[in-house]
Amino acid sequence: MARPGRGDRGLPPPRRLGVRLGARERPADEHRPAGGGSARPPGAPRPRPAPGRPRGPDERPSDRQPDPGLRVPRPPPDPRRGGDRSLDVRDRFRVGRRLQSRLRRRDDGRSARNLLWPCLLRHRGVRLCLRPDPPDRRPVAPGREGPPGRADVPHRERHRPRHHARPGLRPGRLRAVHPRRAPRGRRGVPPRAGDPVPAGSKARHARDEPLRGGLVRDLRLGPRPHRGGGPAPRFPGRADPRKPSRPHCDGSGRSRRARPRGPVRSREGRLLSSAALPPRFEAREVEARWQTEWDRAGAFRGPDRARPPTFSLVLPPPNVTGVLTLGHMLSDTVMDILVRRQRMKGVPTLWVPGLDHAGLATQVEVRRRLQKEGVVFEELPREEALRAIEAWREEHAARIAEQTRAAGFSVDWTRFRYTMDAESARATREVFVRLYRDGLVYRGERMVNWDPKLKTAISDLEVQHAEEEATLLYVRYAWADGSPGGLEVATVRPETIFGDVAVAVHPEDARHAAAVGREVRVPLTDRIVPVLADPAIDPTFGGGALKVTPRNDLVDYEVFQRHPELSMPPDILDDGAHLTGPWVPTAYHGLSVEEARPKATEALEAAGLLVRREPYRHSVARSERSEAPVEPRISTQWFVRMPGLAAPVVDAVRRGEIRIHPSRWERTFFRWMESIQDWCISRQVLWGHRIPAYFCRACGKPTVSVDPPARCEHCGGRDLLEDPDVLDTWFTSWLWPFLALGWPERTADLDRYYPTSVLVTGRDIMFFWVARMMMSGYYFTGQRPFSDVCFHGMLRDEEGRRMSKHLGNSPDPLDVVRERGADAMRFGLVFPNPTSEDGSFGPTALDGGRNFLTKVWNLGRFALGHLPPGTEPPRRAPSLAPTSSLENRWILSRYRRTAEEVDRALAAYEPTRGASALHAFVRHDLADRYVEIAKDALAGRRGEVLERETRSTLLYVLERTLRLLHPFVPHVTEELWHALPHDGELLTLAPWPDPAEAPTDPGAEVAMEPVLEAVRLLRNLRAEERIPTDLRPPAWIRPAGPEVARVLSSEVATIERLARVRPLVLLEPGAPAPPRSGSRVVPLGECYVERTPASAAETESLEREREKLTRLLEKTRARLGDRGFRDHAPAEVVREAEEKAKELEERIGRIDEHLKESGSSGANA
RNA sequence: GGGCGCGUAGUCUAGUGGUUAUGACGUCACCCUGACACGGUGAAGGCCGCCAGUUCGAAUCUGGCCGCGCCCA
């Protein structure tokens, strides 16, 4: 299958990008200081905020109006580069192309920082300088925001008392007590003895434990939302006396800030929305509420009047065997994501839930339960046994339904199906009869896998092989004629000697050539058997001679069949694998295989026939259900002829009619399909669909019929006996896609929703189920049952074992949902687990999910707080002029790319990719960057126009992002969506966003880079210089080129605010570094380091940087010095390397200068 | 025994021939900053399993080896 090429990624072709960029270019003389006026490009609808715009209340002149002397002029052309490259149009074009290729990768989740800097690298380093104010010169902002008495108290002092007033409590614990959480008026008051204690530390410990058990414990211990009136305080005796005053206690023991109910006023006194959201997402309450709402609205009913194309899928019916595991949750979440997206796209969708009776598996479980009560299942009368199973089913079916509902899966419960309901029974019988009439079902005596514990035949797929230790015995078979010696036969199963009919050697084995045709005496018996030659014998195994026990080994059976001179011996094992029969000495009768083995070994030894024994590791077949060693057994069973059924399926997959994702499983699929064996479908158990075959007591032949026949179709006899056996569960399950839609009736649902769209499942049942469904689909409906198969990985616990109900190592999803919420579980499952690989799931994944939801929730709260009542829902993307604020253009463009990526990922059945894209976008772009930048504008400090524009941009992006997130985390998004201005009744029915609605703006994305990079640099410097957080020291940047200067100068205020510096001054290229300033070398350019007294860390990091750059430079130079490289590499690559080398040399040079300075000034200090 | 897949910071993970190797969790440091401490900022942490080969150039392609997993017999 063709992988989507790069061109499919929905990005505009390079030329257009280049043109766009070019069009955005302003004449160089427009470069101006921050806040300066802007010439209006022709056709631009509205002017940018005027230079004389109103100032924010806390704004000082120096905030915005850099000294005219510091205006950033165009640097002189660089003679080495033959002109001012950054203004060269062709160069621009190249940036566009590179940007494009970078942005492509960006879609793979790379960070913006690493994405774009290479485009900027050529501009040379930005110099950043930053100097902390000495304490006495610290600016005390007049009229600063914040409650009086706060801003003027030095930060450190403000908090110190809290740490020192309680010597008995470690600061680490106090840390978690948020002063703002205390009711107003109590800020800064140290916690008292009765105050809640943070739970974090304790929860951490639990989190370190392995998943099994650990998770459950952790879930109980971890911080969790308080359920109104719910659990008692977790620390008895520490009840919080302030509780009544805190309506939104989170129950984790931490107090929350009391939030005033009713209208909220912003700092400026404007009325904000009164529909304030609670400070924390209360998963349990919100999730239950929306699940009810969705049900009430019938949102998940498959439309009855749908016309193709529709989107439909069947839920792989879980076994009633037990409850659902997190593995099911992963699978179901993937399906839910796909379905919900389609539903939002307006496609009629149907998701059919169901339940599988899981015959043998269920019977085993019920048997086990009865055993605990002292009841032997096999001894129960049939009716009673069935009643016991039915009781089990009811109990578990309810539990499974509860689990499915709690997770918020959008299945259509009105179409629920059970594989043992009347319709399913009818369909199963029809299928059997039809296959029988078509000659594809037959009854035959063949070697089958026999489970001696459950006393039933099982299919090849139900057999598990595992390596086990055993002892290999070398047994001498004496010559029958009494001549000395004999043949040495190696075996691990001496107890089957009684069933031997021959000894076989390889025909070309020279050692035994003379033996062929002679006869040997079977040890422990007096039977004489021939020595045969057969090509199946492995001459390298043991002595090269194999004993032939046709009833007890498949290979032996095949050898036997090739030698018609042999006759079939009587059985030596009964159905419980006990020795029996005329060939077995009476001393062994009734012994199990395990008991007989040592006994036979001893006897052989006593008889002097045991030559030697050696330890041996070999593969043992065990029954999947009972774990008993499987005995090959010749038995009469019903079979389905598979090769004929498989052929059309193989064709269909080859033709691409059914696509398998990830496609690498196709090979495995084909291999199995092409060597497929007949399927043994009869089971000697109670629980299942009875085989619709009726044996005539007169002639012994079966009459096969959907309804019980009146007479034998062979002899007309009336005395008929229903076949006591039942059918393999999978004989019903393999019909599921059409069975669930009403087949064999020609129902409307079949017309509308068949073939289904996609099948999502773990690949553990690829052969059991998926392949067989394809076969039945083509055979019975003539159509593919689904167009796409999507295999996901198996969840493993933290010990790497597969999660299964069998091992009991999966937490109950219901517990997970109760403790952390369905959305947290869903995101925690999908986000870290690529569909193609096996994944893991533990408490940390859950935390990640929950934390992300909290982030989204708080974004919603933030936005809500900045929207005046009556704000219109965002009907279309805000149309931003090219002169609009950079951050708005940027976030729209980023949103657009994210939307595209999510769409693409889901269309390719890769929900993890979609989740990653959304996670990265929400956390990094939207929350960490955009919102932080936009705060100024939203507070009205950058003028009304910008405030309005920013508001509508924020609302638009957030609202559309909620829609994109909805399939992943439906509840929290539904709740937030309703709190925000919106059109429509339910988010779950709201339209899926068209990414193209929002414009891409590569120019804004490029321009944003230096801004973000500058912020990062300054913050880094602050940290290195250990400048207290509440200081806003002055800072300087020496921009690298005019382009960077232009961007930076227009965003000075933003950088100042985010980096917490003031004022930020842009220096001219040649200007000297400000005195007593610290600087750093950073990736973007070079960086200067300053020398303050504590500069060891700085010097160290400079040296590290230098080392790194030097290594890189050497590498680059080596490459450039290589003839081969110059001759063979594309010119562009060579040029890039040259530029890079120059770049590096310069940067290293600057670092050296700094190190030198630092050395001298360090000495002075 | 055969087949398939996987080895990338302590852990999980992105990365289809030119990147200063991505992100998350964890770790360390600073920080309650008017959405969010379930938080913010910054930092440290990588012979991209090993060895050959192809190539001007390999985490990426090929072969071998080692380790792990799965499927099949």
> What Å value separates CA A132 and C1' B29?
19
| Closest-lying nucleotide for A831 based on CA to C1' | B24
Q: State the DSSP H helix or E strand holding residue A399, giving kind and residue range, or none if neither.
A: helix A382-406
Q: Name A90's bridge partners.
A: none
> What Å value separates CA A372 and C1' B36?
52
> What Å value separates CA A1143 and C1' B33?
37
| Closest-lying nucleotide for A854 based on CA to C1' | B38
Structure tokens at A520: 């040997």
> How many angstroms separate the CA atoms of A259 and A247, rounded?
8
ipTM: 0.94
Amino acid A290: pLDDT:
93
User: Residue closest to B3, CA→C1'?
Assistant: A668
| Closest-lying nucleotide for A1126 based on CA to C1' | B56
> What Å value separates CA A298 and C1' B10?
49
* Percent of chain A clearing pLDDT 70 (strictly above): 70
Higher pLDDT, A61 or A1146: A1146
- Pairing outcome for strands A441-451 and A456-458: antiparallel
pLDDT digits (tens, 9 = 90+) for A70-84: 232 233 333 222 222
* Nearest residue to A342 via CA among A295, A293, A417, A410: A410
User: Residue closest to B29, CA→C1'?
Assistant: A1023
Q: SS3 for A682?
A: strand
> What Å value separates CA A796 and C1' B11?
14
| Closest-lying nucleotide for A913 based on CA to C1' | B14
What domains lie within chain A, and their CATH numbers? 55-89+116-136+1004-1164 (no CATH), 161-282+834-1001 (1.10.730.10), 298-414+641-672+730-803 (3.40.50.620), 457-631 (3.90.740.10)
Cβ(A499)–Cβ(A528) below 8 Å: no
Q: How confident is the model at residue A797 (pLDDT cuts 50, 70, 90)?
A: low
> What Å value separates CA A800 and C1' B66?
21
Amino acid A11: pLDDT:
31
Least confident residue range of A811-815, A977-981, A986-990? A811-815
pLDDT digits (tens, 9 = 90+) for A839-859: 666 777 888 888 999 999 999
- The mean pLDDT of A969-998, rounded to a whole number, is 92
User: Residue closest to B38, CA→C1'?
Assistant: A851
| Closest-lying nucleotide for A840 based on CA to C1' | B12
> What Å value separates CA A1023 and C1' B43?
9
Residue A900 has pLDDT above 60, yes or no: yes
| Closest-lying nucleotide for A860 based on CA to C1' | B35
Cβ(A524)–Cβ(A497) below 8 Å: yes
User: Residue closest to B22, CA→C1'?
Assistant: A110
> What Å value separates CA A129 and C1' B73?
70
Query: What does each C-alpha distance from A1056 to A133, A1038, A1050, A1052 come to in angstroms?
Result: 15, 15, 12, 6
> How many angstroms separate the CA atoms of A1028 and A1032, rounded?
9
Sheet architecture: strand order including A545-548 = A519-521, A528-533, A502-505, A545-548
3-class secondary structure per residue, A561-605: HCCCCCCCCCCCECCCCEECCCCCCHHHCCCEHHHHHHHHHHHHH
Q: How confident is the model at residue A249 (pLDDT cuts 50, 70, 90)?
A: very low
- The mean pLDDT of A603-619, rounded to a whole number, is 85
Helices assigned H by DSSP within A822-943: 822-830, 843-865, 886-907, 911-920, 932-938
User: Residue closest to B72, CA→C1'?
Assistant: A672
> How many angstroms separate the CA atoms of A357 and A916, rounded?
37
- The mean pLDDT of A934-945, rounded to a whole number, is 88
Amino acid A655: pLDDT:
87
| Closest-lying nucleotide for A796 based on CA to C1' | B69
Highest mean pLDDT among A770-784, A1090-1104, A1147-1161: A770-784
> What Å value separates CA A109 and C1' B48?
19
> What Å value separates CA A826 and C1' B14?
21
Q: Name A683's bridge partners.
A: A726
Residue A957 has pLDDT above 60, yes or no: yes
Cβ(A126)–Cβ(A1035) below 8 Å: no
Strand B nucleotides in reach of protein CB atoms, 7 A cut-off: 1, 3-5, 12-16, 18-27, 29-44, 55-57, 69-73
Amino acid A802: pLDDT:
64
Structure tokens at A882: 């090219």
Least confident residue range of A238-252, A761-775, A881-895? A238-252
Q: Name A704's bridge partners.
A: A693
pLDDT digits (tens, 9 = 90+) for A389-399: 888 888 889 99
Amino acid at A675: S
Higher pLDDT, A310 or A1132: A310
Amino acid A1097: pLDDT:
59
> How many angstroms separate the CA atoms of A413 and A399, rounded?
15
pLDDT digits (tens, 9 = 90+) for A440-492: 999 998 888 888 888 888 888 788 887 777 888 888 888 988 888 888 888 88
> How many angstroms separate the CA atoms of A568 and A548, rounded?
11
- The mean pLDDT of A1069-1094, rounded to a whole number, is 48
Q: How confident is the model at residue A1083 (pLDDT cuts 50, 70, 90)?
A: very low
> How many angstroms separate the CA atoms of A987 and A94, rounded?
43
> How many angstroms separate the CA atoms of A686 and A590, rounded?
26
| Closest-lying nucleotide for A668 based on CA to C1' | B4
Average pLDDT over chain A, rounded to whole? 72
To 10 degrees, what angle do helices A89-106 and A112-121 make?
Answer: 160
Amino acid at A527: R
* Nearest residue to A1086 via CA among A1037, A1043, A1146: A1146
Residue A305 has pLDDT above 80, yes or no: yes
> How many angstroms separate the CA atoms of A62 and A929, rounded?
24
> What Å value separates CA A1144 and C1' B36?
41
Cβ(A1020)–Cβ(A1047) below 8 Å: no
Amino acid at A488: E
Residue A779 has pLDDT above 50, yes or no: yes
| Closest-lying nucleotide for A1134 based on CA to C1' | B18
To 10 degrees, what angle do helices A911-920 and A822-830 make?
Answer: 110
| Closest-lying nucleotide for A159 based on CA to C1' | B32
> How many angstroms separate the CA atoms of A315 and A312, rounded?
10
* Residue A723 DSSP label: -
- Classify residue A14 as exposed, middle or buried by CB count within 10 Å of its CB (0-12, 13-18, 19+): middle
- The mean pLDDT of A198-214, rounded to a whole number, is 31
> What Å value separates CA A858 and C1' B21?
33
> What Å value separates CA A837 and C1' B48?
19
> What Å value separates CA A201 and C1' B47?
37
Q: How confident is the model at residue A413 (pLDDT cuts 50, 70, 90)?
A: very high
| Closest-lying nucleotide for A252 based on CA to C1' | B38
pLDDT digits (tens, 9 = 90+) for A622-640: 888 788 888 888 889 999 9
